[in-house]
Chain A
């Protein structure tokens, strides 16, 4: 037998004095990390199978389990880090491309954490959201250039279609297939209850969820899975997915093993076939082609729905965004390089693209410089982790944010980054019935509503502290931001001053 070069990175620690051998951990672990030794009447485990998802830790009735870093270490080397070496061993073993899931975990700068917010003192009053209205409502879409009046002089409503949100947050695209039916139901119901939107991703819209259409963004991606006239017109907006922050320049591949039952039907492909989304749209090789697709979709939806174009944040993002803003699109969604994914080549996820903070700041400025900022709204994601990130993003110039990883965390995800295994113990990124039923949509919906309600309160508190009582007065209000520990160039790109200035 070949030597296994890899020692598990994490260790399952079981406090024997607490373990009652109830076998709940064994039962809950789809990866088979736990095992009951019947002859000895005790539990044991195999860390090499553990993905560190914490399902067993959370489920253990006696809190006998915890997972710690194993501590097994190679000889210290500042150049050849443990992860680098492990990945090399893995590839030497398999000959394959490394796959990963969720967002880029590497130690790149997180600019949101280097930006501080302002508050009012003396010269103007802060506003208490418990006493005064504190408005987080916003609308996404193009704004008309001309005011038109009827014969009586009343202003005509020539507003292009808008998405109305109770707070500047949308759930971003995650397909049915990449995540479970119950996860989709949780998102759809929460979006409806919160007055926001969720996004189908490229997996079509399950027939059960058409009733949430008013709170749904339907996506059209390069594989065109699940796209038909009824689908396009079921939603409140149509999103063309050009790229994804976790894997710019890369398509998608949902293996045939996951294309079963409803998923196959919803995607409109035979069961068991691989669902391969090409890297580019093969009808879009340039900006003028994108314009044609934008208008095709508008024709198909009778110009009643805004069209979103979603792109990954890459080096030339400002020019790309400028082109899209002139393409007829109503909303541009930009996904930063920390955005999540159900599966992506590790090297792509960890090395391609740029941080959303910088992309947002540059795009917002460029569109203003060109006088076309009103043509589009800007939605940013990848990755938004808290209400403070949202306030900073809006102050940098975003109209709203997309969240996905944060929403999955609310549903139980522990960021084990193993979605590609299809064995999500939390019932989210899996289609195995025994696993998907673990996610109760009633509870999932409630937890999502809780999370965003809490964030809304926090956004209101931060706005009130700044003396701002309406989210539109925060948008692009970069004087409310200061950098901390950033160099001149970074400050210039972000368009903010340094703390103390």
Chain B
């Protein structure tokens, strides 16, 4: 059977996200509990989490989480890393025995910073340099796969039900200001850990429920900008689109939402002239980044989360609040499981972005 990336695999899914806008860090226990309620939206073939704010002691270093097929590959990859980065710390990512989780690859974590000489010679900024290195490892070192590469954040994922994956990584022992989770229902899969979600590049992560009909248009539009879609999944291409629009084009998250879930022309026609001009501009310039077909996503970035549905709202998604926390999930039950007394429960409209940021901090998003 072909490995993920050689074949395109559609999936149904469950997603969940929690953020504390005060910036207070809380345990990953809550997100495990939330996603476990939606067990029947997954089928045990993929689960994962993104956690923000979990590495304050290493917050200035890129945290690379890497799957290795063998120790030989790890050595080859480490040689590459040493040539390009200062490795401040490296270790196996701690895991716990969970009987449902089998066939795990070797999973390592490296806190790194680009070598100043290499960085200067490359003529790139630090983030571009790092993302290019991630692409090189993932496309050129067979058997090594960087699945998390941001600062002060990390992705934890694998083949299994998400709650089992959560316990496997001991996510309850990580404390962050925001978490997202994903339970996957692929229609077929070779069971490769790299194929699980979230998908991440730098501090951008995406959990996604849906199957986008614009996939190949989006893939072929983004690849010329220096991205290589190795997984053939929606989540991967959506992550690259967000990275491209946010990091490389400098669009705001709100603007990104109106690119990927652009208002219909007939809606735009109802806006006043200056607003019309803006939406028309974004749709025209970024036509290749419009995403059609069903999706609900939670995009994580440094300092916040963005929840977004496709413009027809073909996938369920509910948002609720309690105190300084905002909850997002495919189903309301997944929120009430964690916080029975939530307030302001609502289902955002198709294409209506819900952007939640940490308060009192300028993150430039």
Q: Is the CB of A137 within 8 A of B292?
A: no
Q: Is the CB of B281 within 8 A of A479?
A: no
Where chain A touches its partner, the secondary structure class is loop
A468 contacts across to B, CB distance below 8 A = 213-214, 292-293
Mark B245-259 against chain A: 1 for CB-CB distance below 8 A, else 0: 000011100010000
- Residue from the list B262, B290, B294 in contact with A124, Cβ < 8 A: B294
Q: Is the CB of B220 within 8 A of A478?
A: yes
Residue of A nearest to B312 (CB): A132
CB distance from B323 to the nearest CB of A (A): 31
The answer to whether the Cβ of A346 comes within 8 Å of any Cβ in the partner chain is no
Q: Is the CB of B216 within 8 A of A162?
A: no
Interchain CA distance A480-B214 in the complex, whole Å: 9
Residue of A nearest to B226 (CB): A371
Q: Is the CB of A159 within 8 A of B312?
A: no
Mark B195-214 against chain A: 1 for CB-CB distance below 8 A, else 0: 00000000000000011111
Interchain CA distance A478-B214 in the complex, whole Å: 10
CB distance from B189 to the nearest CB of A (A): 14
**Given known contacts A368-B223, A373-B224, is B216 in contact with A124 (CB within 8 Å)?**
no
Q: Is the CB of B284 within 8 A of A133?
A: no
The answer to whether the Cβ of A473 comes within 8 Å of any Cβ in the partner chain is yes
Mark A465-494 against chain B: 1 for CB-CB distance below 8 A, else 0: 011111011111111100000000000000
CB distance from A127 to the nearest CB of B (A): 7
The answer to whether the Cβ of B278 comes within 8 Å of any Cβ in the partner chain is yes
**Given known contacts A124-B213, A473-B290, is B281 in contact with A155 (CB within 8 Å)?**
yes
The answer to whether the Cβ of A369 comes within 8 Å of any Cβ in the partner chain is yes
Interchain CA distance A368-B10 in the complex, whole Å: 26
Q: Is the CB of B210 within 8 A of A124?
A: yes
Mark B1-26 against chain A: 1 for CB-CB distance below 8 A, else 0: 00000001010100000000000000
Residue of B nearest to A149 (CB): B250
The answer to whether the Cβ of B277 comes within 8 Å of any Cβ in the partner chain is yes
Interchain CA distance A154-B282 in the complex, whole Å: 12
Q: Is the CB of A368 within 8 A of B265?
A: no
Q: Is the CB of A479 within 8 A of B264?
A: no
A132 contacts across to B, CB distance below 8 A = 312
Q: Is the CB of B266 within 8 A of A155?
A: no
Q: Is the CB of B224 within 8 A of A133?
A: no
Interchain CA distance A370-B225 in the complex, whole Å: 10
The answer to whether the Cβ of A125 comes within 8 Å of any Cβ in the partner chain is yes
Residue of B nearest to A131 (CB): B312
Q: Is the CB of A125 within 8 A of B216?
A: no
Residue of A nearest to B221 (CB): A476
The answer to whether the Cβ of A82 comes within 8 Å of any Cβ in the partner chain is no
Interchain CA distance A475-B266 in the complex, whole Å: 21
The answer to whether the Cβ of B288 comes within 8 Å of any Cβ in the partner chain is yes
The answer to whether the Cβ of A17 comes within 8 Å of any Cβ in the partner chain is no
Q: Is the CB of B294 within 8 A of A479?
A: no
**Given known contacts A124-B213, A137-B265, is B284 in contact with A162 (CB within 8 Å)?**
yes
B284 contacts across to A, CB distance below 8 A = 139, 143, 159, 162
Q: Is the CB of A469 within 8 A of B278?
A: no
**Given known contacts A133-B264, A472-B287, is B214 in contact with A477 (CB within 8 Å)?**
yes
A124 contacts across to B, CB distance below 8 A = 10, 210-213, 293-294, 314
Q: Is the CB of A469 within 8 A of B216?
A: no
- Residue from the list B10, B224, B266, B314 in contact with A125, Cβ < 8 A: B314
Q: Is the CB of A368 within 8 A of B224?
A: yes
The answer to whether the Cβ of B217 comes within 8 Å of any Cβ in the partner chain is yes
Interchain CA distance A123-B212 in the complex, whole Å: 10
The answer to whether the Cβ of B344 comes within 8 Å of any Cβ in the partner chain is no
A469 contacts across to B, CB distance below 8 A = 292, 311-312
Interchain CA distance A137-B283 in the complex, whole Å: 11
The answer to whether the Cβ of B68 comes within 8 Å of any Cβ in the partner chain is no
The answer to whether the Cβ of B291 comes within 8 Å of any Cβ in the partner chain is yes
- Residue from the list B187, B217, B282 in contact with A475, Cβ < 8 A: B217
The answer to whether the Cβ of A157 comes within 8 Å of any Cβ in the partner chain is yes
The answer to whether the Cβ of B215 comes within 8 Å of any Cβ in the partner chain is yes
Q: Is the CB of B216 within 8 A of A480?
A: yes
CB distance from B46 to the nearest CB of A (A): 15
Pick the most buried of A123, A127, A468, A474: most chain B CB atoms within 10 A of its CB: A123
Pick the most buried of B210, B249, B285: most chain A CB atoms within 10 A of its CB: B285
Q: Is the CB of B294 within 8 A of A125?
A: yes
**Given known contacts A159-B281, A472-B290, is B12 in contact with A123 (CB within 8 Å)?**
yes
Interchain CA distance A137-B351 in the complex, whole Å: 19
Residue of A nearest to B210 (CB): A124
- Residue from the list A135, A157, A472, A479 in contact with B288, Cβ < 8 A: A472
A473 contacts across to B, CB distance below 8 A = 213-214, 217-218, 290-293
Interchain CA distance A473-B262 in the complex, whole Å: 11
Residue of B nearest to A372 (CB): B224
Q: Is the CB of A123 within 8 A of B251?
A: no
Pick the most buried of B8, B217, B218, B255: most chain A CB atoms within 10 A of its CB: B217
Interchain CA distance A473-B283 in the complex, whole Å: 11
Interface residues of B (CB under 8 A from A): 8, 10, 12, 187, 210-218, 220-221, 223-225, 249-251, 255, 262, 264-266, 277-278, 281-285, 287-288, 290-294, 311-312, 314
User: Can you identify 11 A-B contacts, CB atoms within 8 angstroms?
Assistant: A124-B210, A124-B211, A124-B212, A133-B266, A135-B264, A147-B285, A370-B224, A467-B292, A473-B290, A477-B217, A478-B220
A-B pairs, top 10 by smallest CB distance, nearest first, are A473-B214, A479-B216, A467-B213, A472-B287, A477-B217, A473-B292, A124-B211, A123-B10, A477-B216, A371-B224
